[in-house]
């Protein structure tokens, strides 16, 4: 385990050299949440609550979902795996004293830590400036929210790893990345599950939206133990299934790896 | 003067032809990018269906009007990326010294630079715009008007991009700022203008001219008004003049280390 922590540490150190890169992201993050703020202020005119959410809760919900999209992604999971497979670079990792997939996961974790910390601070300030402190905030719910957030981030990474491994079979895995990110952006950011029509809810509950963005954001703005346990159960199932799929895909894929020269 | 304009138009079409031929070299990738972008824009319809289940209109805009906003935004953005697709790389060229190869060519530097690349996926944006216009049910006249308006929108967006990217002449690394401001322009461009008011609306019609790129064209498409059209044309001329002035002002500060590259 120590070797993987070392991988995460060195990725973290490398990332600290480029902290300035985060500022452009802050600006875009701020603009996107601002546009949604205007949208929801318009919708909430004359209503204190819609589908059980106040305007204050809904804006904070978006602050959290956007935070996940901005801070939890890294080129390590979104492009490096695919590049390693397509270029044949993966062959160099196979005889190393570590497992490639765990190496990638820890490198990703090290890479996103500075973004997570800085986006949390920026997001919190932005949320307070835009709409004031979260009215339903309970200090007791914070550890549970952090558990949901961590598991949501892990599912996000595992899905990207699985998509990356598809490069063993398809030359271009971009359409799969695109479908995943589109589902998250269209259904997972702007509004919670409760706002969706009943015909869509079933699909969303099975989709990654439920475990990646809805679970942590819901636990932050509207915490309840009942919901926490059902969400954690869904996240657990997602993680187990994804790990099984990743292991199968990796084992089968590595056997197909064909590298010429180098 | 007329010959010069003709030469510029010829340059635009020749570059466009070769850029598109280059993009189409890998047919499957090209087609999947175009279709992918159409689906990408189309997927936001789900979002608006849900939003319209909460509210019957947004600042007086009905569902069809929001689709019209999407058509204008996607069309203007698409044309920008198809015809003037290299405008987003100015700061990178300034920083790396790649501008040298354009300075020695017997063509207008700025025009030659911005038309030298096209984006395949942007064709999907442009097609999406026309698909929406056809679905919303427009006449031949309004399709012609739509084409003129998205061309104007593309010119405004290009001019704005040139201004932002030219900051690199003074600031060095300006890619992050330029990309951020560009996003600031695109994000509100797909939402009805009625959502914004006061200072924000003023900003959207001045500092970040999304009002002229999308909102005024949509107003004209909904109800043609000659005064609105004239103010749109006036603003377009103004922002183009400002963009050209800033670029050439910055170009005087440009220096490189004799980077050797070949433009193929």
Q: What is the mean pLDDT of chain A?
A: 90
Q: Is residue A191 part of a domain?
A: yes
**pLDDT for the residue A259:** 64
Q: What is the mean pLDDT of chain B?
A: 89
Tell me the residue range of the domain where A174 lies.
Answer: 2-256
Q: Give the chain A residue whose CA is nearest to the CA of B179.
A: A24
Q: Does B26 touch chain A (CB under 8 A)?
A: no
Q: Count up the domains in chain A and report the number.
A: 1
**pLDDT for the residue A260:** 59
Q: Does B51 touch chain A (CB under 8 A)?
A: yes
Which is more confident, A34 or A24? A34
A123/A99 Cα distance (integer angstroms): 35
**pLDDT for the residue B264:** 54
Chain A nearest-CA distance from B13, in A, is 31
Q: Residue B111: phi, psi to the nearest 5?
A: -65, -45
Nearest CB to A43; choose among B54, B180, B184: B54
Q: Is residue A227 part of a domain?
A: yes
Q: Is residue B262 part of a domain?
A: no
Q: Is residue B258 part of a domain?
A: no
Q: Is residue B100 part of a domain?
A: yes
Residue A116 has pLDDT above 60, yes or no: yes
Q: Is residue A230 part of a domain?
A: yes
ipTM above 0.90, yes or no: no
Q: Is residue A261 part of a domain?
A: no
Q: Is residue A129 part of a domain?
A: yes
pLDDT digits (tens, 9 = 90+) for B142-194: 899 999 999 999 999 999 999 999 988 888 777 777 777 787 788 889 999 98
Q: Which residues in chain B have Cβ-Cβ distances shorter than 8 Å to A31?
A: 180, 183-184, 187-188
Tell me the residue range of the domain where B189 lies.
Answer: 2-251
Residue B115 has pLDDT above 80, yes or no: yes
CB A42 to CB B194 under 8 A? Answer: yes
Which range is most confident: A163-177, B2-16, B203-217?
A: B203-217
Q: pTM for the complete prediction?
A: 0.87
DSSP letter for each residue of chain A: -HHHHHHHHHHHHHHHTTGGGHHHHHHHHHHHHHHHHHHHHHHTTT-S-BTTB-HHHHHHHHHHHHHHHHHS--HIIIIIHHHHHHHTTHHHHHTSSS-HHHHHHHHHHHHHHHHHHHHHHHHHHHHHHHH-S-TT--GGGHHHHHHHHHHHHHHHHHHHHHHHHGGGT-S--HHHHHHHHHHHHHHHTSS-GGGS-HHHHHHHHHSHHIIIIIHHHHHHHS--HHHHHHHHHHHHHHHHHHHHHHHHHHHHHHHH------
For chain B, percent of residues with pLDDT exceeding 70: 97
**pLDDT for the residue B259:** 60
Chain B nearest-CA distance from A97, in A, is 37
Q: Is residue B259 part of a domain?
A: no
| pLDDT band (50, 70, 90) for residue A159 | very high
A174/A78 Cα distance (integer angstroms): 9
Q: Which two tokens stand for residue B17?
A: 């032809």
Chain A nearest-CA distance from B189, in A, is 10
| pLDDT band (50, 70, 90) for residue A87 | confident
Q: Count up the domains in chain B and report the number.
A: 1
């Amino acid at each position: 385990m120590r070797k993987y922590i070392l991988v995460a540490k060195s990725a973290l150190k490398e990332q600290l050299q480029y902290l300035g890169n985060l500022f452009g992201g802050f600006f875009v993050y701020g603009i996107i949440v601002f546009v949604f703020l205007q949208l929801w202020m318009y919708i909430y005119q004359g209503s204190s609550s819609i589908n059980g959410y106040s305007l204050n809760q809904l804006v904070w919900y978006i602050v959290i979902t956007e935070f996940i999209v901005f801070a939890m992604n890294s080129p390590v999971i979104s492009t490096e795996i695919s590049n390693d497979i397509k270029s044949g670079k993966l062959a160099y990792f196979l005889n190393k004293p570590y497992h490639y997939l765990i190496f990638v996961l820890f490198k990703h974790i090290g890479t996103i830590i500075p973004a997570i910390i800085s986006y949390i601070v920026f997001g919190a300030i932005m949320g307070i400036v835009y709409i004031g402190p979260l009215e339903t905030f309970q200090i007791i719910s914070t550890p549970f929210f952090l558990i949901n957030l961590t598991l949501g981030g892990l599912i996000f990474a595992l899905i990207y790893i699985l998509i990356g491994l598809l490069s063993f079979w398809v030359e271009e895995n971009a359409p799969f990345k695109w479908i995943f990110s589109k589902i998250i952006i269209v259904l997972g950011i702007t509004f919670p599950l409760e706002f969706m029509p009943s015909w869509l809810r079933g699909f969303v509950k099975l989709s990654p939206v439920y475990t990646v963005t809805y679970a942590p954001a819901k636990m932050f703005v509207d915490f309840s133990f009942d919901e926490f346990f059902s969400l954690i159960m869904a996240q657990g199932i997602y993680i187990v299934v994804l790990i099984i799929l990743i292991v199968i895909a990796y084992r089968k894929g590595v056997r197909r790896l064909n590298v010429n020269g180098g | 003067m007329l010959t010069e304009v003709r030469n510029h138009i010829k340059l635009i079409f020749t570059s466009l032809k070769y850029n598109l031929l280059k993009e189409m070299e890998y047919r499957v990738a090209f087609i999947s990018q175009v279709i992918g972008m159409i689906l990408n824009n189309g997927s936001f319809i789900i979002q608006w269906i849900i939003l319209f289940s909460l509210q019957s209109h947004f600042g007086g805009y009905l569902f069809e009007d929001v689709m019209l906003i999407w058509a204008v935004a996607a069309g203007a953005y698409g044309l920008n990326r198809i015809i003037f697709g290299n405008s987003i790389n100015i700061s990178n060229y300034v920083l790396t010294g790649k501008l040298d190869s354009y300075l020695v060519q017997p063509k207008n530097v700025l025009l030659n630079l911005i038309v030298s690349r096209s984006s395949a996926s942007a064709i999907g944006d442009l097609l999406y715009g026309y698909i929406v216009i056809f679905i919303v049910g427009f006449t031949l006249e309004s399709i012609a008007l739509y084409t003129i308006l998205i061309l104007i929108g593309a010119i405004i967006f290009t001019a704005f991009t040139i201004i932002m990217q030219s900051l690199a002449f003074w600031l060095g690394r300006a890619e992050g700022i330029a990309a951020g401001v560009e996003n600031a322009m695109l994000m509100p461009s797909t939402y009805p203008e009625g959502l914004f008011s006061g200072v924000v609306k003023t900003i959207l019609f001045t500092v970040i001219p999304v009002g002229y790129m999308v909102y005024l064209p949509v107003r004209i498409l909904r109800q043609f008004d000659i005064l609105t059209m004239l103010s749109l044309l006036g603003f377009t001329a103004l922002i183009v003049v400002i963009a050209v002035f800033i670029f050439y002002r910055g170009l005087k500060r440009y220096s490189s280390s004799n980077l050797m590259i070949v433009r193929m």
